[in-house]
Structure 1
C-alpha cells in the first residue's frame, strides 16, 4: 500500500531538532532539496503499488533521496543508512519532519528503491530538474511570425558512449566451468537432503578429483594451450555427469528459487562452452561471463588499457554542460545509430535543433552527415573521402575548437568514474544496475546545479559587501 504525502520541501526552520536550534538555509542538502522536483513524479511512483492494504510503503522522496545520498557520498547501503541516522540534514533531505536517532528503514530497502524507481523515471526527473533550473523565470520573448516559421539552430550537442564495468571477477573459460561444476555439486547435495530416501544413494560427483585437476592449470602462470583444453574437456565431462544426475534425481520442485535459477544458468554455460570447445572458437552470441550476473556481456571497446570491458554500454549526450543518459544496453551496439534520436531529444528539450554536433569518428557516417546537412546542423570532423592536401588556418582552428568542445563529455565520463560509482557498478540485478547508473547522471547534474547556486550566492554576498 502507498500513502501519498506532500513531498514539497518545507522551510528548514520547521524541522524539529528537539530544542537544539534549527537547520541552516544555506546547507547543501537544503538547497538540493529545493532543486529536485519531488511533487511532479509522486503519482508515477505511486503506480508501483496496486494493493490498498498492508503497511504503507516508504514515500517517493525518501526512496529517491536515499539513493541520491548514497551516490553523492559514495558509501555502501549500510553506511548510507548510518549517515542518515546521524545527520539531521540528511533526514530533512529525505522528507522527515523531526530528528530521530533510529534508522528510518532497513538497508535492504535500497534494492526495492532501485526496482521501483526505474531508469526511465530517473531520466525524466533529470531532464525536468535541469530544465526548471536553467530557464529564466518571468522572461517571455515575443517572436514575429517570420521568426516562428524559421527558427534558427542554436546551441551545441556533444555525443559519446562508454561502458560501465560491473563488479565481477575477470572471466575465463576454465574458471567459469569450475564455478559451474561446484554449483551442480551443491544442487545435488541439496536435492539429496530434500528427498530423504534411504534407498537412493547420493550420486558420485568426483569433486576432489575435479578440484585437483582444475588447480593444476589454475596455479600455472602460463599453461600451454593443449593442457588448458584437456582440463576444460574434463570439467565439461564432470558438469555433463552432474546435470544428468540432477535430471535423474528429479524433484526439481524441491529446489530453492536461487538453486533453480543457478541450474538454468549452468545448463546454458555448459552449452556455450561445449560449443566453443568443439568448434575451437572463443566467441559465441549472448556469451555468459558471470554465473551470478548472467545478464552481463563482454563489450569490445578497443581501448589501449582495456580492450574488453564487462558491463553495460551506455550512450549519453551533453547539453549546456549537463549530461543525460539516452540509452543503456547490456549488449554491444553501434552508437552512431542513436544520433538522430539524440538530436530529436535535444529539440524537444530546447525547442530547436543544435547549431553543431561534436562527435568522434564512429558517428560520422554518410547517412548521419546527410541527415544533419538537411537540418542545417554542422557536424564536427573532417569530411569523408580523401583528406585535403592543404588545410587553411580557419579549418585547423575550427577542428581544434571542435575537439576542445568534445572533451567536455569525456571529462563528464571521467568524473562519473572517478568521483562517482560508474567505474564499478556494485548492484547485482540488471534493472537495479540500470537505475544506479541513471542515478549517477542525476547526481552529477545536481552537483553542477549546486555549484551554480553556490557561486550565485557568493556573488550576491560579495556585491552586498562592496556597498
Structure 2
C-alpha cells in the first residue's frame, strides 16, 4: 500500500527538534534536498504500488534519499540507517518532519528501494535535476549585460528570435566504460567446482523428500572431487595438460550429479518445494555444464552468453583492451558529459559497439537543450564514416583528424585545435575515474541485474550533485578572498587548475 505525501515540501525552519534549535539553511544536505525534484516523480514511483492492500510503503523521497545518502557517504546499508538515525540533517533530507532517535526503516529496505526505483526513473530525476541547476545558473547570469559565448547554461532558457533556427552551441563529450561487478576472477576450473558443489546440495535436498522410499542415497564422490580440484588449484604454475585433465574430471563429476538429479525427480522428488533461488541455481548449473563441455570438446576460449558467476549469471566478460585489464566483468555503459554534468545514456550486460550510440546521444542532447552541439569530442572508435557524415549534415564538428593520409605540413592552428579537443575529452575520463575511485562504480555490490543498474544510475546522479556542490564552494571561496589582495597569488593558482566553468565563476566574482 502506498500513501501519497503532501504537495507542500518541508522547510528547514519547520523541522521539529526535541530541544531548541533549527536546521542551518546552508548545510549541504539542505542544499541538495532543494535541488532534487521529489514531488514530480512520486506518481511514477507509486504506480506499481497498491493504494489499498498491504502495509504502507515508504515514500519516494525516503527511498531515493536513502540510496543517495548511501552512495554519497560510501557506506553499507546498515551504516546508512545508523547515520540517518544520528543525523537530523539526513532525516530532513529523506523527508522526515521532526527528529527521531529511532531507525526510520530496517536496513533490508534498501534492497526493496533499489528494486522499486528503476534506472530509467533515476535517469529522469538526474536530467530534471541538472536542468534545474542550469536554470538557476542562467537566471543569475541573465542579470549581467555581457553574455558568455561558450556557456551552456546561459542558452538553456534564452529564447531565439522568431523565424530563426537555433544555432549549434556547447561541447558534447561521449565515451564508454565498464562497471565491474562484485565477483571473483572467473576460471573454468573454479566455476565447475562451484557448480559441482551446488549440485551436491540439490541432491541432498531432493533425497530428503524421498529418503523413506529410496533404499540408498546416490554417491557423489564429493571428497574425491574436492581433492582432485585442490590438487590443481593449489599449484602456482599449472600446465595446459594438467588443467584440461582437471576440467575433464570436474565435468564428469558434474555430469553424474545432474543425472542423479533427474533420477531423483523421476523417483518422486518435487522441484515445487524449491525456492526461486534454488530453482534458478539448478538452471544456471545446467547451462554452465553445457557451455563448459562445448568449450572443452572444441578447445575454444569463448562462447556466446558465457556465464562467469553462478550467483550473478547476468554478468558477461567485457573486452576493453585496457592496459592491465584487457577484460572486465560487469555492465558496459555509454555516457555523455557537458558543462561538467554526466548522463547515463545506455547500459547493457552484453558487449556492444559504443559508436552506434553517437546519434542517439546527440539527439538526446538536442531534446534536452533544443539545439545540436557545436562539437562532439570522442575517441577513435566513434569516428566512423557514417557518424562523420551524420554530424556534417547537422553542422556538428567531430573531434579528431579527418580520414585519409595525413598532410605533410600541418598548420599550428590545427595542431592547437587537436590538442584542445583532447584536453576537453579528458574531462569525461576524469568523471569515470571519480565515479570508480570516489564512488561505487569501480565495484557494484548489488547482486541482481535490475538493482545493479539502479545502483549505477544512482552513482551518476550523486556525482552531479557533488559537482554542483563543488561549484557552490568555489563561489564561496571567491567571495571570501575577493577583498584580500595579499592572497591574489593563491587565486591565480586556483584559476590555473580549475575547470572552464569554475574559471568563469572566479573571473565574474573577482
Partner of 2:54: 54
| Distance in structure 2 (CA, Å) of the matches to 1:278 and 1:63 | 50
| Distance in structure 1 (CA, Å) of the matches to 2:209 and 2:435 | 48
Partner of 2:380: 361
Partner of 2:261: 246
Q: Say whether residues 1:108 and 2:108 are aligned partners.
A: yes
| Distance in structure 1 (CA, Å) of the matches to 2:38 and 2:131 | 14
1:198 Cα deviation (Å)?
4.8
Aligned 8 A contact 2:160 2:166 in 1: no
| Distance in structure 1 (CA, Å) of the matches to 2:17 and 2:202 | 53
Residues 64-463 of structure 1: pairs in structure 2 closer than 5 A: 64-135=64-135, 136-137=138-139, 141=158, 143-147=160-164, 150-250=165-265, 251-457=270-476
- Cα distance change on mapping 1:19 and 1:73 into 2, 3 Å: same
Q: Residues 356-380 of structure 1: CA distance to partner in whole angstroms, max 9, x if unpaired?
A: 0000000000000000011010000
| TM-score, structure 2 normalization | 0.88
Q: Secondary structure at the match of 2:440?
A: coil
- Cα distance change on mapping 1:227 and 1:465 into 2, 3 Å: closer
- Cα distance change on mapping 1:142 and 1:409 into 2, 3 Å: closer
| Distance in structure 2 (CA, Å) of the matches to 1:263 and 1:269 | 10
Aligned 8 A contact 1:159 1:316 in 2: yes
- Cα distance change on mapping 1:7 and 1:262 into 2, 3 Å: farther
Task: Give the superposed CA RMSD.
Answer: 1.7
Aligned 8 A contact 2:180 2:329 in 1: yes
| Distance in structure 2 (CA, Å) of the matches to 1:393 and 1:194 | 81
Aligned 8 A contact 1:8 1:38 in 2: no
- Cα distance change on mapping 1:213 and 1:141 into 2, 3 Å: closer
- Cα distance change on mapping 1:220 and 1:8 into 2, 3 Å: farther
Gap regions ≥5 residues in structure 2 = 143-156, 486-510
Q: Residues 6-33 of structure 1: CA distance to partner in whole angstroms, max 9, x if unpaired?
A: 3654221211110241111111001100
Relative contact order (alpha carbons < 8 A, sep ≥ 6): 1 or 2 greater? 1
1:254 Cα deviation (Å)?
2.4
Q: Secondary structure at the match of 1:168?
A: coil
Q: Secondary structure at the match of 1:265?
A: helix
| Distance in structure 2 (CA, Å) of the matches to 1:62 and 1:337 | 37
1:388 Cα deviation (Å)?
1.6
Aligned 8 A contact 1:298 1:309 in 2: yes
Partner of 2:493: none
| Distance in structure 1 (CA, Å) of the matches to 2:466 and 2:249 | 54
Q: Secondary structure at the match of 1:241?
A: helix
Q: Residues 155-200 of structure 1: CA distance to partner in whole angstroms, max 9, x if unpaired?
A: 0000000001110000000000000000000111111123341543
Aligned 8 A contact 2:399 2:421 in 1: yes
